[in-house]
Amino acid sequence: MLKMSKLTDYGTLVLAQLSVDEGRLLSAHKVAESTHLNQPTVSKLLKALNQAGLVVSQRGSQGGYALARPPEEISAAQIIDALEGPVAITECSSGHGLCDLESVCRVGSAWQRINIKIRQALEEVSLTDLQYSSEPPAGQNFRATLKPYSKLS
């Protein structure tokens, strides 16, 4: 089964909340409060998203986090890369030289082509597309519907 982790779900939720407040710096505490995720998880997610260049941060009493670019320029593929690493549905689809059977394998190149198609599809879906596939009621925040996850895996 192909499945993204809860952290990717939560990271997308955090990015969606930052996009609602686009242009404003939000503290990790405020993001956690708005999304109903616990603050340590939000802080870890924001750190990873910052390292990946998806959010920017500013220190200090007036500091916080904001999207690094408009939400329509952040793809699902970039979010997954930031929180899980590159999309790879099999070991051999993540690149050449990683499998001892590569020289005799008859299906590796097919998996690589499938992986490329999946990646292309994820690159075509923006944060804007993800957050507005179902419109939240006016004035509502994006809220976690899953039990909060307390640590990065």
Residue 64 three-state SS: strand
pLDDT tens for each residue of 42-72: 999 999 999 999 999 999 888 999 999 999 9
pLDDT tens for each residue of 84-122: 998 888 776 666 566 777 778 888 788 888 989 999 999
Domain map (residue ranges) of the chain? 6-131
- Domain 6-131 falls in which CATH fold? Arc Repressor Mutant, subunit A (1.10.10)
Task: Note whether 144 and 37 are within 8 A (CB).
Answer: yes
Phi, psi of 71, rounded to the nearest 5 degrees: -60, -30
| Long-range Cβ contacts of 30-37 (<8 Å, 24+ apart) | 30/64, 31/65, 34/141, 34/142, 34/143, 35/10, 35/141, 35/142, 35/143, 35/144, 36/143, 36/144, 36/148, 37/10, 37/13, 37/144, 37/148, 37/149
- Report field, pTM of the whole predicted structure over 0.95: no
